[in-house]
């Protein structure tokens, strides 16, 4: 049961990360583009928080599988 839950959460986590459109490639990771401060609004905020929740759930299930 935990294995199937972990697979489902991992797929949702991948989708959540891919939906976030932050940066313009590898150049932004090394400071190549101008960084602007902006707040998250609407659907972007929901996807951001859902990604965090999914990551915590994935970690919790992974730890639970180690203990069982």
Helix (H/G/I), strand (E/B), else coil: 64: helix
The full DSSP string for 14-60 is HHHHHH---SSSHHHHTT-S--------THHHHHHHHHHHHHHHHHH
Helix (H, G, I), strand (E, B) or coil at 68: coil
Helix axes 43-67, 2-19, angle to 10 degrees: 150
Residue 31: the pLDDT is: 56
Per-residue pLDDT of the chain (68 residues; tens, 9 = 90+): 989 999 999 999 999 999 987 655 554 555 555 556 677 788 889 999 999 999 999 999 999 999 98
The structural domains of the chain, with segments of one domain joined by +, span: 1-19+42-68
In this predicted structure, what is the pLDDT of residue 66? 92
Residue 39 is predicted with a pLDDT of 78
pLDDT of res. 50? 96
pLDDT at 32: 53
């Amino acid at each position: 049961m935990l294995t199937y839950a972990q697979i489902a959460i991992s797929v949702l986590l991948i989708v959540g990360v891919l939906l976030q459109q932050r940066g313009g490639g590898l150049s932004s990771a090394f400071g190549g583009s101008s960084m602007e401060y902006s707040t998250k609004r609407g659907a972007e905020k929901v996807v951001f928080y859902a990604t965090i929740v999914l990551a915590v759930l994935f970690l919790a299930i992974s730890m639970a599988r180690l203990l069982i």
